[in-house]
Amino acid sequence: MKKRTVSILLLIAMLAALSGCSSLFKKEYLSVSEYADDTNDGLSNDISRISDYEGLKDAIISMVNSHKTEGRLRFTDYEGALPGDISRAWSEVKSESALASYAVEYMPYYLSPIATYYEAVVYITYKHTQGEIDAIRYVTGKPQLAEAIDPILDSMGSYTAIRITSPTITEEEVKNAVYKAYAANPAACVVMPVVNVRMHPQSGMHRIIEIELEYGWKLSELQKMKSALVNKINELSRSLSSDKDAVFAMSAYNKLAKSCTYDSAGTLGGGRIGFNSGLSSTAYGALIEGNADSLGIALAYSALCHATGIECVVVNGSLDNEEHSWNIIKIEETYYHVDVSASSALGIGNTFMRSDLQMQVKYTWDKSLYPECNGVKSYHDVLSRNF
């Protein structure tokens, strides 16, 4: 009886197959896997999970630091008021973060409710590329600023960005740092550029400073002038070489005083800091053209000292209540005043290796900006080799 029943079932199956009724034995495949909430950190590498306001700000800063152009912010159990918090957080990040202030143009977002949470899609448009951000120079404070500017002047570049740690840095201090770098090595870019400064943000411990430089000359012209100036400085340095800094300093003084005509009237602009007054106020005017005002002569003297390793700064002050520039040099750990441009009017005895006390009879300057000069030796000691 069993065998007969099995045979009948087999026959029915065969007949069903021949008649096209395949649905009778059709199978449904069910894939079963463990349920996972996609808000879990391990499954949301591209999503920032946020529960409070500080987390929101941190997520935006993280996107900017990674130069992301798009991201998703998921708000779960968020303690705050959306969407107002997103706008406020972005405004604060923009005003507090140096990189966000410098690099980001704008940040639109779209907020959507999804089941038990909210999700915002954020888009960031940048003003600067990742390459431009990577090119930012870093300095730890104001004293290092001029050194960071040196390379851009030496290449006669027109733009640089510097990140600095200083809550008190001002635009004027940045411009003075550019001037300081130029005065320390006047052959770097020949002329003092006009400087434009932008700060990002306007206040805070960390800021990115954009510096734009305008030289007023074509780059090809500057390069030719620089080549001629560097060759002249090297030629003079070799001819004035000495194993004693004091002897070189006096030889350079005499050489410059004899070879350069002093433009005492300052007909091409005088010695105003940061003013691109033409070649009369440059080392090029003093050493190549043989005509310069007090600033140009002071820069030329600084360039000669720089070439031989003598510490030398350009002082901007006044002589007999008229704008005037001169130098301070360091000889054997002691600082002295030197004013080559006044050599014909006052004589070497009154203008070479002078102390603050001796200079202040006719000269005035901001003593807080320059080294104290308290040396007691003079050019007579140089002549007698008393060093």
DSSP 287-353: IIISEE-HHHHHHHHHHHHHHHT--EEEEEEEETTEEEEEEEEEETTEEEEE-GGGHHHH-GGGTEE
DSSP letter at 193 equals P
Amino acid at 42: G
Could you read off the pLDDT tens digit of each residue along the chain, which spans 387 residues? 434 443 433 333 333 333 343 332 222 222 222 323 444 433 345 788 999 999 999 999 999 999 999 999 999 999 889 989 999 999 999 999 999 999 999 999 999 999 889 999 999 999 999 999 999 999 999 999 999 999 999 999 999 999 999 999 999 999 999 999 999 999 999 999 999 999 999 999 999 999 999 999 999 999 999 999 999 999 999 998 787 899 999 999 999 999 999 987 655 443 334 443 469 999 999 999 999 999 999 999 999 999 999 999 999 999 999 999 999 999 999 999 999 999 999 999 999 999 999 999 999 999 999 999 999 888 888 887 766
**Per the structure block, which two tokens stand in for 23?**
């649905």
Sign of the CA dihedral 298, 303, 304, 308? positive
Give CA–CA dist 325/288, Å, rounded: 19
Sheet holding 117-123, edge to edge: 47-50, 70-75, 117-123, 109-114
User: Peptide bond preceding 113: is omega within 30 degrees of 0, i.e. cis?
Assistant: no
Amino acid at 337: H
Determine whether domain 219-383 maps to CATH 1.10.287.
no
The answer to whether 166 and 144 have CB atoms below 8 angstroms apart is no
Q: What is the pLDDT of residue 11?
A: 35
Q: What is the pLDDT of residue 382?
A: 84
Q: Which CATH number fits domain 41-126: 3.30.160, 3.30.1560, 1.10.10, 3.30.110?
A: 3.30.110
* Burial of 282 per CB tally in 10 Å (0-12, 13-18, 19+): buried
Backbone angles phi, psi at 110, to 5 degrees: -130, 120
CA 136 to chain centre: 6
Q: Kindly report, residue by residue over 246-295, the tens digit of the pLDDT.
A: 999 999 999 999 999 998 765 544 333 444 346 999 999 999 999 999 99
Q: What is the pLDDT of residue 242?
A: 80
Q: What is the pLDDT of residue 25?
A: 28
Helical spans, DSSP H, in the chain:
2-18, 53-65, 84-96, 98-103, 130-134, 145-154, 171-184, 219-239, 245-259, 283-284, 294-308, 343-346, 356-359, 379-383
**Per the structure block, which two tokens stand in for 169?**
């840095």
Please name the CATH architecture into which domain 136-214 falls: 2-Layer Sandwich (3.30)
| 41-126 and 136-214 in the same fold | yes
The answer to whether 280 and 292 have CB atoms below 8 angstroms apart is yes
**How many CB atoms are closer than 10 A to CB 101?**
20
How does DSSP assign 110-139, residue by residue?
EEEEETTEEEEEEE-EESS-HHHHHT-EEE
- How far CA 229 is from CA of 185, 219, 356, in Å, comes to 12, 15, 32
The answer to whether 109 and 88 have CB atoms below 8 angstroms apart is no
pTM for this entry: 0.79
Q: What is the pLDDT of residue 381?
A: 84
Element (H, E) at 163: strand 159-165
DSSP letter at 192 equals P
| Closest CA relative to residue 313, chosen from 180, 193, 189, 191 | 180
Every domain of the chain and the residues it spans:
41-126, 136-214, 219-383
Give CA–CA dist 31/91, Å, rounded: 48
Q: What is the pLDDT of residue 33?
A: 28
Q: What is the pLDDT of residue 271?
A: 37
Q: What is the pLDDT of residue 379?
A: 81
Element (H, E) at 209: strand 206-214
